[in-house]
Amino acid sequence: MIRAKVKNSQKFIYIYQIYYQEKYKEDFCWHFLVSLPMTIGLRVMYLDEVYDIKNIDKHGSRNIIDLYEYQHPVLKKILDEDWELYNDIIEGIDKAWLIFEEKLGHRP
């Protein structure tokens, strides 16, 4: 599980997917698919919006470069098995979000 803070608010967020996109020939942009406190659905945030990124799982800490293209195993399994459910989780559809919470075993 990866946790970070939102700049200008000090709120914790949980990161479920990290990927980067090439913007120009030698430039790229980090994207984080995150859950925000007291909301449902996953939102895209960028590197300039977050800080203090920490891997808080039992596998020890890794830096962001080691985590590029990271996807939480539960979210990856859902994506591999059911694209519609994956999409509904990101969109914050109530029923899909409850299934996601159940598979995670906790509130994201």
Interhelix angle 94-104/73-81, nearest 10 degrees: 130
Neighbours of 101 (CB within 10 A): 14
Sign of CA dihedral 47, 19, 85, 98: negative
Residue 48 · residue 7 · CB < 8 Å? yes
CA angle, corner 107, sides to 11 and 8, nearest 5? 10
**pTM of the complete model:** 0.82
Q: Indicate the SS3 state at residue 104.
A: helix
> Tens digits of per-residue pLDDT, 49-98?
998 888 776 655 555 555 667 888 999 999 999 999 999 999 999 999 99
Could you tell me the CA-to-CA distances from 28 to 20, 63, 93 in Å, in that order?
Answer: 6, 17, 31
More confidently predicted of 1 and 108: 1
